[in-house]
Structure 1
Amino acid sequence: MSTLVLKKIHEIKGNDFFSIQDEIKNLSWNSIAASPWKADFPYSPVVEFQIAHTDSFVILHYAVEEEFLKAQYIRSNENIWEDSCVEFFISLDNKQSYFNFEFNVLGTGLIGYGTAVKSERKRLDGAVIDAVNTYTSVRKVDGQKKWNLILQIPKTIIDTTEWSGRTIHANFYKCGDKLPKPHFIAWNNIDYPTPNFHRPEFFGDLIIE
């Protein structure tokens, strides 16, 4: 089971990608490298993330290197997972229910909430999704596409109670269902026969500083 410490930092002052990237440069990097369905989907991009929290926000920074980029969806709650997509699933009630935050390379988002039973999940309103600030950077280096996404997620979306000192559960993902090389990779491995990120029993532990 993967475990990491969710470090607490001061509120972010910057309002663009590069200034925020500089503010969080000392946070540790974590790899998203588990490939549960590698036999059917052998391609794995290189993905790392940084994460921290402030009094008001969860700050999440993904760094991705992959062969192809796709950014079709421009409206909240569209099929974000078909694009070049990173995801963050988080549970604060011992995996009984959870939020799924899914954002593509453009910063277009989808947020859902509920149990793992599909009929019991719902997508949040677009106005709530718009409350998540997104900052992106894209470049091509030696034929490889590299992109970064910083999410500034208001804690009020997830839970308004005190976070410090708790252990919560989460998983981090990278996918691209409709890319030329589809892939499904995770931070904490998933033991399930077919691609499915909605498996909270395989969430790892986040120890909140």
Structure 2
Amino acid sequence: MNVKILKDKEELNTVAPFEITHLLWGTSSIPRTCFYIGFVPGDGFYVRMVCEEKDPRRTYQSYLDPVYQDSAMEAFLLFPQKEDASGTYLNFEINANGALLAGYGPSRTYRSFFSREEAEQFQARAVIEEDRWSALFHLPLSALERVYGPMKLEKGSTFYCNFYKISESKDIEHYAAYAPITSPVPSFHMPEYFAEAVLV
């Protein structure tokens, strides 16, 4: 996938959407879900995700709540940099209340979480409309460099990512991804299935 280099965050409104279409682990359908991502040099990444879902389940309110039990959208990103962080990826999970779960690490079981103060810089928020809801967040370079060390992101730089629609609550359980996952075990924490992204 090509990720556009933007002049400013407002230009995110001009990029083409990517759609989450791969239904997983028995999921028969999801509301149409897409995402927009762009990179502002010297600033960081901006992400907006949109789900055409009326009245999404939104129980959780606070940072690090298990929002994946609500109706949630998620972005997982991996930036290959220095050797000791080569398998470390970031997860951003958000519900329609704007409650955020954000962490990083090499696997599902070994995650570290950003502090509440650090999480404020992600500026996560959600907007609920009559027939859809959207989630927005900012991934600043300072947060990336805290995890990966000094980074040089420019035209042609590559990283890896996947984007998801999820609820683990049994009555509305569903799983879908942008890049396909062929594992029989339900888990989004599988960087081997992330799509390659290139800054253009």
What TM-score bracket applies, with the shorter chain setting the length? 0.7 to 0.9
Of 167-176 and 63-72, deviating more is: 63-72
- What is the RMSD of the two structures over their aligned residues, measured on CA atoms? 1.8
Closer/same/farther in 2, CA of residues 45 and 156 from structure 1, 3 Å limit: same
Counterpart position of 1:77: 64
> Alpha-carbon deviation of 1:117?
5.2
Moved over 6 A (4+): none
Does structure 1 retain, via aligned residues, the 8 Å contact 2:77–2:162? yes
Residue pairs, 1:16-35, within 5 angstroms: 20=10, 23-35=11-23
TM-score, length basis structure 1: 0.84
| Separation (CA, whole Å) in 2 of partners of 1:78 and 1:181 | 18
* Count of aligned residue pairs for this structure pair: 190
> Higher helix share goes to which structure?
2
Unaligned runs of 5+ in 1: 13-19
What amino acid is the match of 1:132? Answer: F
Candidates 127, 136, 144, aligned match of 1:137: 127
Unaligned runs of 5+ in 2: none
| Separation (CA, whole Å) in 1 of partners of 2:198 and 2:2 | 5
The percentage of aligned residue pairs carrying the same residue is 23
Counterpart position of 1:51: 37
Closer/same/farther in 2, CA of residues 30 and 76 from structure 1, 3 Å limit: same
> Alpha-carbon deviation of 1:194?
2.6
Candidates 6, 10, 27, aligned match of 2:7: 10
> Alpha-carbon deviation of 1:10?
1.6
Candidates 102, 105, 109, aligned match of 1:111: 102
| Separation (CA, whole Å) in 2 of partners of 1:24 and 1:203 | 22
| Separation (CA, whole Å) in 1 of partners of 2:168 and 2:90 | 20
TM-score, length basis structure 2: 0.87
Aligned-partner SS, 2:171: coil
Residue pairs, 1:148-159, within 5 angstroms: 148-159=134-145
Encode CA deviations 1:19-40: one digit per residue, 9 max, x unaligned.
x5xx433201111010121x3x
| Separation (CA, whole Å) in 2 of partners of 1:184 and 1:9 | 31
- Say yes or no: does 1:204 pair with 2:195: yes
| Separation (CA, whole Å) in 1 of partners of 2:19 and 2:183 | 21
Does structure 1 retain, via aligned residues, the 8 Å contact 2:95–2:126? no
Aligned-partner SS, 1:158: helix
